[in-house]
Amino acid sequence: MGTDSTGGDGHEERRAAPSRRSLLGWGGAGLALGAVAAGGSVAAVEAGSGTGPTASSQSAAVPFHGVHQAGIATPVQDRLHFAAFDLTSTDRAEVTALLKAWTQAARRMTAGRTVGSGAAGLAEAPPDDTGEALGLPASRLTLTLGFGPSLFEKLKLTHRRPDALAELPHFPGDNLAATHSGGDLCVQACADDPQVAVHAIRNLSRIAFGTAAIRWSQLGFGKTSSTTPGAQTPRNLMGFKDGTRNIAGDDATGLAEHVWAKASDGQEWMAGGSYLVARRIRMNIETWDRAALQEQEDVFGRGKVSGAPVGKTHEHDAPFLKAMKPDAHVRLAHPDSNGGTRILRRGYSFTDGTDGLGRLDAGLFFLAYQRDVRTGFVRVQRNLARHDALNEYIQHVGSAVFAIPPGVRDADGWWGRGLFA
């Protein structure tokens, strides 16, 4: 399902001036922040006391510009709206115009501002902004854009496609649905207020009309991973902490080795970028809830309450893998069982009603960033798909992979400029 190995961004400065939206008031579900970096850029959002949400942490804006895109190593927010898009135009000029328009809108929304001139304007024309986020703070909104393998085919840019953007093989147990797989483009919107995240995707989709359309999307809540050093790992819907060894946001060495792409990797335009694997993982909640506690702990290789590895006391204690069952999830996902492979996780729980048979359609929307898909997710998932005891209780039902270009450096830049230059 995930890996117990994975890390986040650099330091961020507080914005010099409050945003229009933060002046209107604050609200949403904020978290106290730690001082960690966003997207590798230098700019630290205001940190909370660590005792609970504060007005400053709820309304903080994460800087949009930087060497890396925000939303990768940024401290993980509470909510997610992820959308995959299909191109409806294969004209490069039109796609370029869309990316420029998206970038401008993203700059404004992540700063807590409205799109364009806002929800007002001529009575005879639709407003530039849909308006449902008026009066809400920035809520640490980050927008992260990616290119799917099919985009390079459609735009005749196959010579620019990185080798690291590899199509995922079929893994044992996969039951993938086209309704939750693939896509030419993706946008990951993370925020501490779900309405802010949904507003962002809604407005980008509106701007894309005529050039791209949403193929599928996923709402997520209850972050299941942390990139903040020392923070407690959140729990998934099975009640366990999974991903304790996530790459930390201030681990520059770990990020450089395992997450950020380099020019020497083969495509210079991807330097400072990363590669994203998104997997919709259905949990068989009802079956899991009837399993004995000892079985549940054996499956994960951790205590359910403490989160500690087998035979240990605290969550962050170094695991002794041989003390776990051979098919324990933590043991199989650990870097020592995968040639040192580590990935950066940003997963979220989801519930999407029922399956028509009285069972919850619920699980984990797994997001993993890495320097190379082939030596990252593929290597770990091959091990898990074949041997993980957790497979009895989960099934991968959606899948996509994207190249995440480097960050937009300044006001003259735009998403994906290096690819189209």
Backbone angles phi, psi at 318, to 5 degrees: -65, 130
HEC sequence for the chain: CCCCECCCECCECCCCCCCHHHHHCCCCCCCCCCCCEECCECECCCCCCCCCCCHHHHHCCCCCCCCCCCCCCCCCCCEEEEEEEEECCCCHHHHHHHHHHHHHHHHHHHCCCCCCCCCCCCCCCCCCCCCCCCCCCCCCCEEEEEECHHHHHHCCCHHHCCCCCCCCCCCCCCCCCHHHCCCCEEEEEEECCHHHHHHHHHHHHHHCCCCEEEEEEEEEEEECCCCCCCCCCCECCCCCECCCECCCCCCHHHHHHHCCCCHHHCCHHHCCCEEEEEEEEEECHHHHCCCCHHHHHHHHCECCCCCCECCCCCCCCCCCHHHCCCCCHHHHHCHHHCCCCCCEECCEEEEEEECCCCCEEEEEEEEEEECCCCCCHHHHHHHHHHHCHHHHCEEEEEEEEEEECCCCCCCCCCCCHHHHC
The mean-pLDDT minimum among 31-35, 64-68, 193-197, 246-250 falls in 31-35
% of the chain residues with pLDDT over 90: 78
In this prediction, residue 55 carries a pLDDT of: 47
Please name which of 242, 286, 236, 234 lies closest in space to residue 388, comparing C-alpha atoms. Answer: 242
* Strand partners for 216: 84
Q: Is the pLDDT of residue 11 over 80?
A: no
Instruction: Give residue 36's pLDDT band: very low, low, confident or very high (50, 70, 90).
Output: very low
Q: Are 114 and 199 in contact (CB under 8 A)?
A: no
Instruction: Give residue 249's pLDDT band: very low, low, confident or very high (50, 70, 90).
Output: confident
The mean-pLDDT minimum among 2-11, 299-308, 326-335, 375-384 falls in 2-11
Q: Is the pLDDT of residue 5 over 50?
A: no
Q: Is the pLDDT of residue 180 over 60?
A: yes
Domain ranges of the chain: 20-420
Region 141-166 average pLDDT: 98
Region 277-293 average pLDDT: 98
Q: Is the pLDDT of residue 3 over 60?
A: no
Average pLDDT, the chain: 87
Q: Is the pLDDT of residue 32 over 80?
A: no
In this prediction, residue 421 carries a pLDDT of: 85
In this prediction, residue 59 carries a pLDDT of: 67
Q: C-alpha distances in angstroms, 150 versus 77, 158, 261, 294?
A: 29, 9, 20, 45
In this prediction, residue 39 carries a pLDDT of: 36
Q: Is the pLDDT of residue 146 over 60?
A: yes
Region 290-309 average pLDDT: 97
Q: Is the pLDDT of residue 398 over 70?
A: yes
Burial state string for 233-245 with b = 16 or more CB within 10 A and e = fewer than 16: bbebbbebbbbbb
Region 333-354 average pLDDT: 95
Q: Is the pLDDT of residue 139 over 70?
A: yes
Instruction: Please give the Cα distance from 315 to 2 (Å, whole number).
Output: 17
> In terms of pLDDT, which residue wins out, 397 or 1?
397
Region 224-250 average pLDDT: 82
In this prediction, residue 232 carries a pLDDT of: 75
Instruction: Give residue 65's pLDDT band: very low, low, confident or very high (50, 70, 90).
Output: very high
Q: What pTM value is reported for the model?
A: 0.87
Q: Is the pLDDT of residue 70 over 80?
A: yes
Q: Is the pLDDT of residue 6 over 50?
A: no
Region 218-246 average pLDDT: 84
| Residues 6 or more apart in contact with residue 313 via CB below 8 angstroms | 306
Backbone angles phi, psi at 21, to 5 degrees: -70, -40
Instruction: Give residue 243's pLDDT band: very low, low, confident or very high (50, 70, 90).
Output: confident
> In terms of pLDDT, which residue wins out, 90 or 49?
90
Q: Is the pLDDT of residue 333 over 80?
A: yes
In this prediction, residue 262 carries a pLDDT of: 98
% of the chain residues with pLDDT over 70: 86
Instruction: Please give the Cα distance from 353 to 364 (Å, whole number).
Output: 14
Region 31-60 average pLDDT: 39
Q: Is the pLDDT of residue 8 over 90?
A: no
> In terms of pLDDT, which residue wins out, 418 or 57?
418
> In terms of pLDDT, which residue wins out, 47 or 241?
241
| Residues 6 or more apart in contact with residue 33 via CB below 8 angstroms | 45, 46, 47, 48, 57, 60, 75, 140, 228
Q: How many CB atoms lie within 10 A of CB 210?
A: 10
Q: Is the pLDDT of residue 47 over 70?
A: no
